[in-house]
Amino acid sequence: MLSEKVLKNLRGSSAIRAMFEEGENLKKIHGADKVFDFSLGNPDPPPPEAVLKSLRDLARENPPGLHAYMNNAGYKDVREKIAGHINNKDGTALAADNIVMTCGAGGGLNVVLKAILNPGEEVIVLSPFFVEYGFYIENYGGTMVVVPTEKGTFQPDLQAIEKSITPKTKGIIFNSPNNPTGVVYSEMILTSLAYLIEDKEKEFHSHIFVIADEPYRDIVYDEIKMPQILNIFKKSVSVYSYSKSLSLPGERIGYIAVSDKIENIDVFMEALVFANRVLGFVNAPSLFQKVIAESLGATVNVNIYQERRDLLYYHLTDLGFSCVKPQGAFYLFPESPLENTAEFKKLALKHKIIIVPGNGFGSPEYFRLAYCVSTKTIENSLPAFTALAKEAGLNK
């Protein structure tokens, strides 16, 4: 009765949701404060005051057309402000017409993939990767080619990428700061990747688009400077979202910023805007376009996330867990101390800790902890991690 493809996907697609449901059941039995749920990337800090104020002001003033359709790319004045904001920060030369407003990064990625992919073309993703990429690529008949990052650092492995590029490669998606590892890809490695891609394009007479999925771009720690992808790669787009930086995941607002060095950029932009329309998004939510235009530069309190990272990271590594120190986003991705991560997940559940096994991210020997939960939850969870480590045979 239903699509066979969808039914097949349904069976294997909901590891994170399944863990979340498991956590909800445990909370009913033991009480919410006794369960340590690190399953979902749903930010817990409230949106910044600038966002709430502009929301209140707009609702009160209700200017004409606030809730109307507009150009499928989004309001021109909003796109102009966003372009200016990126230019000021990163020295790019973007104009309003280099920006398409989208329904979050999920919407933006689908728009880009629809615009560029022909059936049978390949898109490289670097593992560990965000679970939805495979489904997004499949939406347009593309094939996902998974290339593991370097063991020990989770940085892109250039040799492995080089071997995986074929005449059918149409794009490469990467996500930095990364979900699930928290790693920021280094500017030096990305610059080498740009040369590699240009060489391969010449060799195969092909076009390879770099799609940077960057919802965590503004959540970085230790004064790390995020490389600007649009300055590094000629055929590149940065897909941004306010879901994480402004704690607005339910509002579905983000944008695609397109490198001004793409050839025939007018047609490229038309293709994006067309895709936004016919995928049924039509345009990004009008009210929130206006809200974010008034809140540029605001972010949630990133220091809170950094404190939580430190609390959990140092506790886990003291206990003997092996884990790369995250430089951004709000996830830890430690190695499972048991060979079978599913067994470790069960053991964690016994201690009322909800983790997500790494297989959904393409890295089965690891597990993910989303620390976008309250600091109190993290503090309360520390003894449970100590007991879990002991039972899992970590002896420190």
Residues that bind ligand PLP (CB under 6 A): 41, 104-106, 130, 175, 179, 213, 215, 241, 243, 249, 254
The residue (of 108 and 334) whose beta carbon lies closer to ligand PLP is 108
The single-letter code of the amino acid at 183 is: V
Cβ-based nearer residue to ligand PLP, 23 or 41 = 41
What are 307's two structure tokens?
Answer: 């404190």
Pairing of strands 254-258, 356-357: unpaired
Of 209 and 385, which CB lies nearer to ligand PLP in the complex structure?
A: 209
Least distance from C-beta 129 to ligand PLP, angstroms?
8
d(CA 146, CA 172): 10
CB of 78 vs ligand PLP, minimal distance in Å: 17
Output the smallest distance, CB 251 to ligand PLP, in A. Answer: 9
Residue 201 CB, shortest distance to ligand PLP, in Å, is 26
Closer to ligand PLP by CB, 179 or 286: give it.
179
Of 245 and 392, which has the nearer Cβ to ligand PLP?
245
What is the sign of the dihedral through the CA atoms of 367, 372, 375 and 380? negative
Q: 263 is written with which tokens?
A: 């050839």
Shortest Cβ 318–ligand PLP spacing (Å):
28
Q: Which is nearer to ligand PLP, 292 or 319 (CB)?
A: 292
Beta bridge pairs of residue 100: 256
Q: Which is nearer to ligand PLP, 169 or 179 (by Cβ)?
A: 179
Minimal distance in Å, beta carbon 179 to ligand PLP? 4
Minimal distance, residue 382 CB to ligand PLP, in Å: 25
Nearer to ligand PLP, 133 or 385 (CB): 133
Q: Which of 149, 144, 157 is nearest to 109 (CA)?
A: 144
* Calpha distance 51→253 (Å, rounded): 13
**Beta strands 209-213 and 169-175, pairing class:** parallel
Tell the smallest beta-carbon distance from residue 40 to ligand PLP (Å): 9
Q: Is the peptide bond prior to 383 cis by the omega test (within 30 degrees of 0)?
A: no
Closest listed residue to residue 9, CA positions, set 124, 133, 168, 115: 133
What phi, psi does 320 have (nearest 5°)? 105, 0
- Name residue 172's beta-bridge partners: 124, 210
Query: Please, where are the H alpha helices in the chain?
Result: 4-12, 15-30, 49-61, 76-90, 104-116, 133-139, 158-164, 187-204, 229-232, 242-245, 265-278, 286-293, 302-319, 341-350, 375-391
